[in-house]
Chain A
Amino acid sequence: MRCKDPIIVVKDLYVNFYTYAGVVKAINGVSFEICRGETYCLVGETGCGKSVTSRALTRLIKSPGRIEKGEIYFYPEPGKKIDIMKLSDEEIRKIRGYDIAYIFQDPSASLDPLYTIGYHVAETMAFHGVVQSIKEGIKKAAQVLRLAKMPDPESRVRAFPHELSGGMKQRAVIGMSLANRPKLLIADEPTTALDVTIQAQIMNFLKELKEKENLTLLLITHNMGLVAEMCDTVAVMYAGEIVEEAPVEELFKNPLHPYTRGLMRAVPKHVGKNVTLESIPGTVPNLIFPPPGCRFHPRCPYRFDPCDKKRPPLIEIEKNHKVACWLYAKEGGKR
């Protein structure tokens, strides 16, 4: 166990999508835990399964997708264990948006153009019984928006989504997700659609909020810069699997998995014209017919015997530093 006091524990999660083209094996045996109060990052490239993993935490997977297998435990307080997979749909809805809240990449998708920002905030609060009526909720909305650093919150309560800029919309959505004081906030690429200066504002604000509210943050991103600035622990995903997990400084100092190493070297940072970036050859595999063995092996410069035959287990190499790669595991080792 990595965490003394975990807030979420996921064991051996499998998610498939049943499409016309075939079964997409999107999440393939993912296990991890998030400690209370930390910022845990999921990084990886398009389609590697970051969003699906985070949505599975509250069983927010819609048809044609299905959680095939796996255990998910949520601890709203230390020692209080909730088996997410055993809850009824009604019970899970009570947790989603209350104890566990989401912010998605595109704020417009979370906002109904026909309703004011105040109404949106009020509605989430009313649904979870935090306020008794929408009317009461609208009164409290300005306070919630102020928490999300919305400029001029009193008048923004009456604004409609289209009257706000992208950055302000995202603040409204963050306000909505914070309205019920969640314990776990899942932010899925919350700033990808925004400008860097606005991104910096929102990230600073999330940091402040974490300090003030003892919030746990699951941050999903493909931006290594954000990983470095925001995270305590990082899990690197590749083609539906976690291939490496480590504390952020350890991961940057000592990346072990060939994919993580490639990823680190492919990010342009402070390099001018006369340096050459390294790139990872090939492309991300198709998850209907994923490569056998290690899913990274077709692109891996270090592949050897077992790699195309057997899947490497995720094992701890150093304290809290886990990697799934045959370079570090003994073949035939325990899975």
Chain B
Amino acid sequence: MNSKELINYMKSTFGEPMVEVVDLKKYFPVKGVFRTIGYVRAVDGVSFIVPKGKTLGLVGESGCGKTTTGRLILRLIEPTSGHVYFDGKDIFKLKGKKLLEFRRKAQMVFQDPYMSLDPRMTVFDIIMEPIRAHKIKVEDPQKFVVNLLYEVGLNETHLYRYPHEFSGGQRQRIAVARVLALEPEFIVLDEPTSALDVSVQAQILNMLKDLQAKRGLTYLFISHDLGVVRYMSDYIAVMYLGKIVEMGPAEEVFEKPLHPYTKMLFASMPVPDPFEAKKKPKVEVIGEPPSPINPPPGCRFHPRCQYAMDICRKKEPPLVMAEKGHFVACWLYAKK
């Protein structure tokens, strides 16, 4: 299956795409003393779609390329090759007014609520800043900001306070309000709750879900917490070392993971239930993720895979549809 066919299959099973990603690659140069001595293949040929009004959860371990994928989709960085279509338009070809409009419609919320807010600005100015940058006119700025604050569970008493006066969860709410000010259609949420405590995390996740329902937002939800991803997502994509190894409807992938890596990842996740934990088979976790600078030949997972066959060491498995709407890149499922 080439990427065109793949995308068409995804469209027919997942629905109309907000974002369409085709053969996307991003290599970062590794600099030696005199010259470039290699490349980090952070994202190495991924194709997928994010269906309109839905949440695609992107999971995988540290350094597998989740954030880089998110940044590419928002054109915060330029790709090495490949395409991203937003509402059908190739975002890397956008210029001027069209680019500005894309920048308004597609937004990002970061992991660290402590870093992403300017400590010298009041909440009012923080939320108004993108509005001013985009030269958008609002009748009554104060009322406009207060309405947004209500939407994220804050109120007018917070208007003229500074970020340091807020808790982590409240700061993340401010960051979301700021993003909402531009009335985006698509938001990349990059580990939006991993700096927060569980009791606060639930508040933020519920708020994000409510906002999605109310405003019809499309989310790309990046996280390595599988429990959180399952709670948030309609569809899941699993990344390993710059590649998508499995993708499908969330429930299906969680109930019936196909790729050996997905299985290992899920089995490694501790279950918050001592009765189930006792029953759970012990996981054999082999090795550690290798470096993305010199990824193993063939299937990148083969050195850690208990099912590795000859072909896995030589040829890279393509992403294929193993079952309806359930895609996997593994020689156990692909035609050789």
Contacts and interface: CB of A to CB of B under 8 A. Distances in A.
A223 B270 CA distance: 9
A267 B277 contact: no
A286 to B, nearest CB: 10
B211 interface: no
B268 interface: yes
Interface in B208-261: 209, 224-228, 230-234, 250-251, 254
Contacts of B201: 266, 279
Nearest to A262: B199
A263 interface: yes
Nearest to B203: A279
A227 B224 CA distance: 19
A279 B210 CA distance: 14
Range class of the B interface residue count: 35 or more
Contacts of A228: 270-274, 276-277
Contacts of B206: 276-277, 279
A204 interface: yes
Interface stretch (A119-127, A195-203, A316-324): A195-203
Contacts, number: 137
Contacts of A203: 270
B169 interface: yes
Given A229-B270, A249-B275, A275-B231, A198 B198 contact: no
A270 interface: yes
A46 B198 CA distance: 10
B293 interface: no
B157 to A, nearest CB: 15
Contacts of B251: 272
Given A195-B224, A204-B282, A277 B202 contact: yes
B231 A271 contact: yes
Contacts of B264: 197
Nearest to B282: A204
Given A167-B288, A252-B273, A277-B205, A195 B230 contact: no
Interface residues of A, number: 47
A226 B270 contact: yes
A270 B202 contact: no
B167 interface: yes
Interface string A254-288: 00000000111111111111011111110110000
A155 interface: no
A277 B202 CA distance: 6
Nearest to B196: A46
B82 interface: no
A113 B107 CA distance: 40
A224 interface: yes
Nearest to A250: B274
Most buried by A among B203, B233, B254, B282: B203
Given A266-B201, A283-B200, 6 more contacts: A46-B197, A198-B288, A200-B268, A201-B285, A266-B199, A284-B167
7 contacts: A45-B199, A226-B270, A266-B198, A268-B202, A268-B230, A280-B203, A283-B200
